Amino acid sequence: MKSEEILILTSREVQNLLTVDECIGAVEHAFCLYGKGKAVPPAVLSMNTPGGGFHVKAGLLELDRSYFGAKVNGNFPENSTRFGLAAIQGVIVLCDAEKGIPLAVMDSREITSLRTGAATAVAAKYLARLNSRTVTICGCGNQGRVQLKALSRVFQLQAVFAYDKSGDQALRFAHELALDVKIPVTAVADLAAAVRQSDICVTCTPSRQPLLGSDDVSPGTFISAVGADNPEKQELHPSLLAKSKIVCDILEQCAVMGDLHHALDAGVVTQANVHAELGDVVAGKKPGRESDKEIIVFDSTGMALQDVAAAAFVYEKAERHGSGVRLSFAA
């Protein structure tokens, strides 16, 4: 590609260029680099609106070349019912971090979805019990689908429970995903009962009230809390975090927008009680699971380095395949 050209990639093109397995690999590598101190802490800017909100997540990552990436995302949970649109809308701008040259602009939805599921898969690899076989997915939208597909790549799952505030959506999810991942999926109406039977639970909802409390989880469970990506959202009761080993994607972010944020406000934990950031565990600087009995919560607010790693992978693959449209902004 000529130096003055920018590669434009649509959602469909991104989807064709990035598989779940590739995204898991890219995300794990990003967490490892960060844990080893080979990447500076990423930055985030958030602004809420009555119907949703926007955030800008930016990071620098040294891969085969030095990349800067900035994602501008709108998250509007009611988009589907109000406008027939996806909840996530946005773009990622990828630049050469050595020269400052913009390299690509790509739709962010597929990358956001895949990298979020990939982060759960990476966290589960280090924090869930090795023989985990049963999963509860709480929230049966697109993210729930991606979460299950990502987990199925790292564990030999045998049973899945699907819970959603919409029973019909849970039933559709169960039918479609059972065919997709070739694992029995059962729609359930009692979330707590399902979670008590599960090795792994993923919460990926726009909830603003706790969905799980300290009595709803059995010893040894791994929980990936994905939904709380702004200070108003909450999926886990502070009492559950108080009895769990807590691992964050980025501690500073989780302290202001994740489920950790609510536990800190409730005074039941302090930042000193957080066991580690996921990068520390992936890099081998801190242990992951140390007992089959400990409950471990992964507070996943979304790290910009996940976006940069995935976008860089997509860009390099697009260059090799000749994908996308090339435009020049030069005069």
Give pLDDT, residue 229: 85
Q: Which fold has domain 127-302?
A: Rossmann fold (3.40.50)
pLDDT in tens, 260-307: 999 999 999 999 999 999 999 999 999 999 999 999 999 999 999 999
Q: Quote the DSSP letter at residue 41.
A: P
Which residues in the chain are classed under CATH 3.30.1780.10? 5-112+305-328
Beta bridge partners of 195: none
**How many Å apart are CA 305 and CA 106, to the nearest integer?**
16
SS3 237: coil
Backbone angles phi, psi at 63, to 5 degrees: -115, -130
DSSP result, 251-315: HHHHHHHSHHHHHHHHTS--GGG--EEHHHHHTTSS-S---SS--EEEE----HHHHHHHHHHHH
**How many Å apart are CA 127 and CA 297, to the nearest integer?**
9
Q: Tell me the catalytic residues.
A: 71
pLDDT in tens, 189-215: 999 999 999 999 999 999 999 999 999
**How many Å apart are CA 207 and CA 204, to the nearest integer?**
9
Full-model pTM: 0.94
Which residues in the chain are classed under CATH 3.40.50.720? 127-302
Average confidence (pLDDT) per 10 residues, the chain, 331 residues: 82 97 98 97 90 92 97 88 87 96 96 97 98 98 96 97 97 96 97 98 96 97 94 96 98 95 98 98 98 98 97 98 90 57
Give pLDDT, residue 329: 79
Q: Which CATH architecture group holds 5-112+305-328?
A: 2-Layer Sandwich (3.30)
Give pLDDT, residue 28: 98
Give pLDDT, residue 3: 59
